[in-house]
Amino acid sequence: MTDPILDHPALTSRYFYPLRNRFDDPFYVQGEGFRLGCRYRRVSADLPTIIHFHGNGETVEDYLGDFEERIAAMGANLLLAEYRGYGMSDGEPGLTAMLDDVRLVTEASGVAPEKIIFFGRSLGSLYAVHGVSLYPQAAGLIVESGLAEPLERILVRVEPEEVGATTATLKEAVARHLNQKEKIASFGGRVLIMHARNDDLVSVSHAENIYRWAREPKELLIFERGDHNTIMAANAALYFRAVEKFIGKG
């Protein structure tokens, strides 16, 4: 799907930071006229699989090595999803266009939804949350530094008239495609929300709202150290312990 407002070139050019790079052993997911250069670390078909959607100023390459090894050691497979135009992927990014890619990546994993944990960081929270709305039988959802109200971040980038919209029609487009409250509330599986109290880009209130909207069982973990881009590094022991505990409950 595409939306003429949310995928407008003015918003796309200001919202996304599509860095390009290359790495060994990509896992390509084929779309219509493009392919996504993902990475798939398979440990065992008997284990749960994390499908991870990274943040805006990142690429799959940023999660190679240590992150992969830690997740594998916890007893999970890891599929690092890439966005259109990022890393080794073709195409152009788009807020709503990339919602379709969640199903493409999930189906390409070859894993039953009941064994999938969707994991989204920052921008990636839009796609992880969309994942559990598509697959409500999924094993779990992890949201790191996530967005509760995408409209807030969109309005940082553009004024409504720049994308051919009014304030009302922009709100309607966000509510139609990126309704985090509705999507999270529809999911009855396990949820882990992690956020830095001093996040300088996405207020901790977003995490609090996501937690409020989520159904039980759910956990909210607010870190006193770090900010939006250092949450994992500043809290590595607690961060990975929480993820390992979450995987272990599956």
> Could you give the percent of the chain with pLDDT greater than 90?
99
pLDDT at 250: 59
Predicted model pTM? 0.98
Beta pairing, strands 77-81 & 35-41 = antiparallel
pLDDT tens for 116-164 read: 999 999 999 999 999 999 999 999 999 999 999 999 999 999 999 999 9
pLDDT at 83 over 70: yes
| CA quadruple 97, 103, 106, 110: dihedral sign | negative
Q: Sheet containing 218-223: which strands, arranged edge to edge? A: 27-30, 35-41, 77-81, 49-53, 116-121, 140-144, 190-196, 218-223
| CA quadruple 114, 194, 56, 10: dihedral sign | positive
Confidence category of residue 1, pLDDT binned at 50, 70, 90:
confident
Question: Does the domain spanning 9-248 belong to CATH 3.40.50.1820?
Answer: yes
Over the chain, what is the mean pLDDT?
97
Task: Write down the domain spans for the chain.
Answer: 9-248
pLDDT tens for 60-73 read: 999 999 999 999 99
